[in-house]
Structure 1
Amino acid sequence: MKIGELAHETGVGVRLLRYYEAQGLLASRRSEGGHRHYGPEAPAAVARIRTLLAAGLPTRIIRELMPCFSGDGTALQACVLDHLRSQLADMDSRIADLTRARTALGDILDASTRALAPAAAGR
């Protein structure tokens, strides 16, 4: 199928499909005229890419994972699960850091609001 057909079938724009290909996430073959042609597995590959992106994984990790999907293409092989667990732990750590930063910012805002309240009342 041509890139426009793949875009139509998956709901993903042509430009984004080209980006996926440039990142090594999606493969095509070229016609003599230079047009991209995708195999019948391409829509499923695009769905896997979209799922992994939605899970917060960067394209460099997705590139490593794409060949590791099981036969039906819905689950990853056991050999990469530790890698995913590591990604999840990193994400949990970033969430904890953001939660602490949010609390600190809220405390600064609360303290500033309380300090400004008497000045505003005296106007």
Structure 2
Amino acid sequence: MRIGELAAKAGTTTRTLRYYESRGLLPARRAVNGYREYDEDDLQLLRQIRTLQDFGFDLEETRPFVDCLRAGHPAGDSCPASLAVYRRKLAELDGLIDRLTDVRQQVARQLATAERAVAELAAGAEAPGGPEPRCEFDR
């Protein structure tokens, strides 16, 4: 199949395919007439790359999966190098989750503090430093 057909089947653009080719992720085979030629194996490579990118993997992180498929394995994640990338990505995600959990707790504490201050003001207590300023939206 030619580049336009492959792009359509993979749900991407010919520009993206040329970029993958330049990065060595997609083989650059040419017909006698100079047109790029692709087959179903190339479509499988593209689907693997796109799936991993949808999961948040950067393009270079997809390389071991592509290499695994090119080596003739039935799945891109059946090689040790691919498993190592999965492990690194999981560790990265765990770190992000931990950081987001910390940020969420800080925001929740700040909200609770702000809500207490608003409740005290509504109950008639004077704000520290003088009377409560009026909000421009409270009219």
**TM-score > 0.5 by shorter chain:** yes
**SS, match of residue 27 in structure 1:** coil
Q: How far apart, in 2, do the equivalents of 1:40 and 1:120 lie?
A: 68
- Structure-to-structure mapping, 1:1-20, within 5 angstroms: 1-20=1-20
TM-score by length of 1: 0.75
Change (3 A) 1:120 1:39: same
**SS, match of residue 115 in structure 2:** helix
**Are positions 1:51 and 2:46 aligned together?**
no
Tell me, yes or no, if the aligned pair for 1:7 and 1:13 is still in contact at 8 Å. yes
Hey, what does 1:101 align to over in structure 2?
103
TM-superposed CA distance for 1:67, in Å, is 0.5
Query: Which has the bigger relative contact order, CA under 8 A and spacing at least 6?
Result: 1
Hey, what does 1:114 align to over in structure 2?
116
Q: Could you report, residue by residue, the CA deviation over 1:78-103 in whole angstroms, capped at 9, with x for unpaired residues?
A: 35423421221222112111111122
Change (3 A) 1:112 1:24: farther
Q: How far apart, in 1, do the equivalents of 2:26 and 2:15 lie?
A: 13
Q: Percent same amino acid at aligned positions?
A: 37
| Structure 1 range deviating more: 101-110 or 64-73 | 64-73
TM-score by length of 2: 0.68
**SS, match of residue 78 in structure 2:** coil
Gaps of 5+ in 1: none
Tell me, yes or no, if the aligned pair for 1:9 and 1:43 is still in contact at 8 Å. yes
Q: Could you report, residue by residue, the CA deviation over 1:11-52 in whole angstroms, capped at 9, with x for unpaired residues?
A: 223333333334432222346776433233111111111121
| Structure 1 range deviating more: 82-91 or 39-48 | 82-91
Gaps of 5+ in 2: 125-133, 135-139
Larger radius of gyration: 2
